[in-house]
């Protein structure tokens, strides 16, 4: 009788633990599936562009930004994937001769958050090109400059990493 | 069956009546009880004793009370302590489970997993980006950036997917 109570509670705790584990596992699977879907859609867009079907490529990419993203996906990962997709969409808008639509896509992408990374720099580049297409030289120059500042920083980091990865002179391989 | 076995004798009837009377009331107060057999009277006395509550003589009451009261109080205290323990366990066990559930859920949520640093861009990709950021007419530089980005994107997505799949 005395031992039955604690055993019952241990059972409840174990059950809750299994439930939590299952929920966490299911969430991670959902995140990975979302990434896999984005991967598939980018590959499809590549194929469609290769075939000259810009509308189908655009459709494939819109599925990433218009779809529901897993709420618990790390914010930086979500931002990276979505900003990269907005970059491509803006690029397609520019190719289609619609710089205003490109600006809208860029604004959506930059609205997801800022960072000194490749994705933000790409959005600034394509926004500069859109301003340029709209004969707004000053805005284009500002965006290009901001992109180059990030680019310079990234180049310095890349060079530093390659220097670190190189064996020190005199070290035995 | 024989005739004499069916009909009780006068003596048997008297003994039965005396036993019944002894069971019903105090035998000592009944004069007719003298006629009852001794073994029947003893049995009746034992039965009466068994039914009667244990009586403590008035003189012994303070001693019994002094000895029994602490034992009874200890029993009551133990019972109360056990009840408190059960109530506390009933409240604490689900609370602990809830806290643990919340903690484990939160620690496996985005905050703990964190965002993966994107792979370092290659020098060629950065050169293409810098070229595109110089502007100018045409979309050649942007097209080159797009080509360089395809390889980087594949690497980025594969790394993200692998990390999310491997996260426990």
Q: What is the 3-state secondary structure (H, E, C) of chain B?
A: CCHHHHCCCHHHHHHHHHHHHHHHCCHHHCHHHHHCCHHHHHHHHHHHHHHCCCCCCHHHHHHHHHHHHHHHHHHHHHHHHHHHHHHHHHHHHHHHHHHHHHHHHHHCCHHHHCCCCCCCCCHHHHHHHHHHCCCCCCCHHHHHHHHHHHHHHHHHHHHHHHHHHHCC
The residue range of the domain holding A33 is 9-71
Whether B2 shows a pLDDT value over 70: the answer reads no
The residue range of the domain holding B123 is 119-166
In chain A, residues with a C-beta closer than 8 Å to the C-beta of B125 are: 118
pLDDT of B114-164, one tens digit each? 777 888 999 999 999 999 998 876 678 898 999 999 999 999 999 988 887
Note whether B135 contacts A95, CB cutoff 8 Å.
Answer: no
Do A90 and A138 fall within a single domain? yes
Is B135 at the interface with chain A, CB within 8 A? yes
Do A53 and A37 fall within a single domain? yes
Alpha carbon of A35: minimum distance to chain B alpha carbons (Å): 6
Would you state the pLDDT for residue B122?
Answer: 92
Total number of domains constituting chain B: 2
Compute φ and ψ for B91, nearest 5 degrees. -85, -40
In chain B, residues with a C-beta closer than 8 Å to the C-beta of A106 are: none
| Contacts of range B83-91, beta carbons closer than 8 Å, 24 or more positions apart | B86/A5, B89/A5, B89/A6, B89/A9
Would you state the pLDDT for residue B38?
Answer: 75
Structure tokens at A170: 């005199």
Note whether B122 contacts A81, CB cutoff 8 Å.
Answer: no
Do A53 and A110 fall within a single domain? no
Name the residue with higher pLDDT: B13 or A96.
A96
A27 domain residue, yes or no: yes
A121 domain residue, yes or no: yes
Note whether B167 contacts A9, CB cutoff 8 Å.
Answer: no
Would you state the pLDDT for residue A2?
Answer: 47
Total number of domains constituting chain A: 2
A145 domain residue, yes or no: yes
Domain-ending residue, one of A71, A87, A119? A71
Alpha carbon of A120: minimum distance to chain B alpha carbons (Å): 11
Are A99 and A127 within 8 A, CB to CB? no
Do A81 and A67 fall within a single domain? no
Q: What is the pLDDT averaged over residues B96-110?
A: 68
In chain B, residues with a C-beta closer than 8 Å to the C-beta of A129 are: 132, 135, 139, 142
Per-residue pLDDT in tens (0 to 9) along chain A, 173 residues: 445 566 666 666 666 665 655 555 555 567 888 999 999 999 999 999 999 999 999 999 999 999 888 877 888 999 999 999 999 999 999 999 999 999 999 999 999 998 899 999 999 999 999 999 999 999 999 999 999 999 999 999 988 888 887 776 666 65
* 3-class DSSP assignment, residue A67: coil
Looking at every residue in chain B, the average pLDDT score rounds to: 78
| Residue keyed to tokens 């409840």 | A12
Do A49 and A111 fall within a single domain? no
In order of A37, A56, A57, the CA distances from A43 in angstroms are 10, 12, 9
Do A54 and A81 fall within a single domain? no
Would you state the pLDDT for residue B1?
Answer: 47
The CATH number that applies at residue A93 is 1.25.40.10
B133 domain residue, yes or no: yes
Note whether A94 contacts B154, CB cutoff 8 Å.
Answer: no
Name the residue among A35, A42, A121 with its Cβ closest to that of B161.
A35
Structure letter (DSSP) for residue A171: -
Neighbours of A103 (CB within 10 A): 21
B160 domain residue, yes or no: yes
Alpha carbon of A172: minimum distance to chain B alpha carbons (Å): 27
**Sign of the CA dihedral A146, A152, A158, A161?**
negative
SS (H, E, C) A91-117: HHHHHCCCHHHHHHHHHHHHCCCCCCC
By the 10 Å C-beta count (0-12 exposed, 13-18 middle, 19+ buried), B140 is classed as exposed
Among all residues of chain B, which has the CA nearest to that of A50?
B147
Alpha carbon of B76: minimum distance to chain A alpha carbons (Å): 18
Do A57 and A27 fall within a single domain? yes
**CA B120 – CA B118 distance, rounded (Å):** 6
């Amino acid at each position: 009788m005395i031992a039955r109570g604690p055993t019952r509670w241990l059972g409840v705790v174990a059950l809750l633990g299994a439930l939590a584990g299952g929920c966490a596992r299911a969430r991670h699977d959902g995140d990975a599936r979302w990434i896999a879907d984005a991967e598939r859609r980018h590959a499809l867009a590549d194929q469609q562009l290769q075939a000259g079907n810009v509308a189908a490529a655009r459709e494939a990419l819109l599925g990433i930004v218009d779809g529901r993203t897993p709420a618990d996906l790390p914010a930086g990962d979500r931002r990276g994937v979505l900003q990269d997709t907005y970059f491509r969409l803006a690029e397609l808008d520019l190719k289609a001769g619609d710089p205003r639509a490109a600006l809208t896509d860029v604004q959506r992408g930059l609205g997801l958050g800022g960072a000194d990374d490749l994705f933000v720099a790409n959005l600034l580049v394509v926004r500069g090109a859109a301003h340029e297409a709209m004969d707004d030289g000053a805005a284009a120059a500002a965006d290009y400059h901001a992109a180059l500042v990030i680019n310079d920083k990234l180049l310095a980091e890349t060079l530093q990493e390659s220097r670190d990865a190189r064996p020190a002179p005199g070290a035995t391989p | 069956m024989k005739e004499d076995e069916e009909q009780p004798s006068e003596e048997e009837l008297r003994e039965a009546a005396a036993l019944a009377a002894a069971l019903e009331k105090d035998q000592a107060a009944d004069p007719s009880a003298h006629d009852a057999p001794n073994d029947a009277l003893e049995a009746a006395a034992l039965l009466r004793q068994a039914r009667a509550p244990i009586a403590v003589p008035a003189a012994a009451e303070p001693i019994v009370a002094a000895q029994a009261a602490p034992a009874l109080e200890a029993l009551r205290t133990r019972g109360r302590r056990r009840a408190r323990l059960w109530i506390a366990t009933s409240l604490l066990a689900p609370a602990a489970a809830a806290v643990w559930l919340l903690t484990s859920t939160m620690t496996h949520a985005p905050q703990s997993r964190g965002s993966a640093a994107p792979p370092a861009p290659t020098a060629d990709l950065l050169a293409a980006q810098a070229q595109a950021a110089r502007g100018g007419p045409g979309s050649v530089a942007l097209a080159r950036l797009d080509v360089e980005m395809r390889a980087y994107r594949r690497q980025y997505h594969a790394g993200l997917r692998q990390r999310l799949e491997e996260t426990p």
